[in-house]
Structures are given as C-alpha cells and as structure tokens.
Amino acid sequence: MSELLGVAVLGAGHMGADHIRRLDRGVSGARVAAVADPDTRRAEAAAAGIEGVRVHADVEAALDAPGVGAVLVASPGPAHEEALLAAFARGLPVLCEKPMVPDPEGALRVVEAEARLGRRLAQIGFMRRYDAEYRRLKALLDSGRLGRPLMLHCTHRNVSSPPGFTSAMLVDSSVSHEIDAARWLLGQELTAVTVLRPRSSAAAPQGLIDPQFVLFESEQGALADVEVFVNCGFGYQVRCEAVGESGSARIGEDHGMQVTGGGDTCREVPQDYLVRFADAYDRQVQDWVDATRRGAVTGPSAWDGYAAAAVAEAGVRSLEDGRRATVDLAPRPGPHIA
C-alpha cells in the first residue's frame, strides 16, 4: 500500500474545497493530483500549498492529468452525469457527491453505463452510512433484535436555508439524505411519497414552504416520516427512531457536555452539518481511498443514486399537487441493494 492514490477533484466550491483539504490532511493513502473548476482562480485557491497539484478549467484534462488514479466529483449536480461517464470511459473509480444526477433519467443512464462496464466504479456520497450512530442502528436492525422494522421517524432541521433554496429542494436536496438512509436501514425500496405542508414558519423566506412533513412507504409496508425544517433557527438536528415489532431505537439525540447554570442543565446543539457529521465525511473518504487502493468499490452504488433521484422526483410531484405520488423505478440491471 505504499503508492499514494492520486485523486482528481472536480469542483472547488465549498464542498470541493473541503474534500481537497480532507484528501491532503485528513485521510491517509491519498493525495490531490488535479483540481478542475471552470473558475480556475477558485481552483488555485483550494489547491494552494499542496505540492504537485495541477489546476484545470476542463474536466477531461483533469482526468487525463498524470498521476490521476481516481476521481472525486464535487461539482454542481447538473455536471455530474458527464463527469461520471468520462470517469467510466477511463476506467477511473469515482466518489460522486449527492445527488448523483438530479433527474432520474440521467441517473438511470449512469446506472446503465456502469452496468455495461460489467463492474462497479462509482460510489455515491451518502455519507450518513459512515456515521457511527447510523451504523449502530443499521447493525441493530440487521441483527433482528427489534423484529421486523415497521416505522422510521426522522427529523432533519437546519438553522436557516441558503439564498435561492426552493420548496422543492427541501425534498430533493435535504430529504434525499433520509431517502437513502431509509432505503439502506430498511433494506427495501420506497414505493410512494406524500408531502404534507404544515403552516410555514414566519422565519422562512417569503414563499418557501418550510417545514414540510414527508411520508414514505416501502415495498414491504414500512412507513417512514420525515419532518424537514430548514429555517428552524436553533441548530442542526438529524434524528432517527426505528420502531420494530419488539423494540425501538433512537439516534441523533443531543449529547456531549452538560452545563448547569442559571436554573437549567443544557447540552449544545450543533449548528452545522460539518460539525455533526465531520467524522462521517472523513470516514467516507478514508474508506473510499482504502477500498480503491485495494481495487474494490464498497459504498453506496449508482443504483442507490438512481433510486434516491426517483424517490425525490416523486416527492416533488407530491409537493406540487398535494397528493400521494408513486415512485417509478426502472428494472434493476444488476444485483440487489448493497
């Protein structure tokens, strides 16, 4: 394992810059070999101080740069399909930030392209699967100790939404994490979505439907509900309770230091997903690097990326017309959910 894995990072925005820093300093076994961003000044800034990195405006040039053995896609969602197909064409393993491809049709094209290769190259950035508490919950469900899963109750709250955040993005961006988590925890596909609209908060930007309450049905009849509230004001909370036939389990409860003073005992709520899921991001990339160096692809698959896109698309339909929307899922071109 002596040779470092040279990674081309596509996209040098907030998330891309964070991954560049992580590859350079937070994980072992990898190095940043190339950075591509149409805004090359941004790419230069993100790559500053890292020896041996080349900066490109163009994706193909970055993929073809010397020393590149794998790709990390952190560009905007609409650019992902082309990037993934380019990586596939070169046989390069790729870690692609979510959404894999925003529209289900494009996502399916990626699935089919990989299927034609006859081997996996893509891992999708559903990093909650690398969070210690989610992993505990998954292991508990798989152990059968709770009996068969019947319900998941989920909460997803942000302090405030960034400029330009739309009502549909609560479903297809925020809740996409819960979509993947529900599929993974239950080990089942989701078949229908209903989006309810409680009264919107006065703290939400004008016109934004926030909070929303999203209901998912699974193929074996489990129900998953998600409160998504992206202008809750007080912090970043991601919680999940799984209810089975013989017990329940909760993750995401407040923990850490308890401070008593002035009549209350308090625990801090993290303000940001980078605080709550810092370890999960690190572990995700480390696992990807480790697997890639030994020639394996182990994380969430292109199918997971496609299924999430299809469920999110149904959710947006339900948000628009207020009715239950069924999920249209193409036949699976390969083996079952990893």
Q: How far is the CB of 312 from its own copies (least distance, A)?
A: 21
**Residue 67: which region, alpha, beta or left (left: phi > 0; alpha: psi -120 to 50)?**
left
Q: Which of 202, 294, 331, 335 binds its own copies (CB under 8 A)?
A: 202
Site string for its own copies, 280-309 (x = CB under 8 A): ----------x-------------------
Between CA 288 and CA 106 the distance in angstroms is 24
| Residue 196 contacts its own copies per CB under 8 A | yes
Q: Which of 48, 57, 203, 296 binds its own copies (CB under 8 A)?
A: 203
The piece of 150-158, 165-173, 176-184, 311-319 that touches its own copies (CB under 8 A) is: 150-158
| Residue 262 contacts its own copies per CB under 8 A | yes
Cα torsion at 302, 194, 144, 134 (round to 10°)?
Answer: 60
What's the 3-state SS for 179-222? Answer: HHHHHHHHCCCEEEEEEECCCCCCCCCCCCCCCEEEEEEECCCC
62 vs 137, which CB is nearer to its own copies? 137
| Residue 153 contacts its own copies per CB under 8 A | yes
| Residue 26 contacts its own copies per CB under 8 A | yes
The piece of 62-70, 121-129, 149-157, 304-312 that touches its own copies (CB under 8 A) is: 149-157
Between CA 324 and CA 318 the distance in angstroms is 6
Q: Which of residues 51-70 bind its own copies (CB under 8 A)?
A: 51-52
**For residues 110-134, b (16+ Cβ closer than 10 Å) or e, as one string?**
bbebbeeeeebbbbbbbbbbbbebb
Q: Which of 132, 274, 320, 326 binds its own copies (CB under 8 A)?
A: 132
134 vs 165, which CB is nearer to its own copies? 134
User: Read out DSSP for 85-112?
Assistant: HHHHHTT--EEEPSSSSSSHHHHHHHHH
Q: Which of 27, 35, 84, 111 binds its own copies (CB under 8 A)?
A: 27
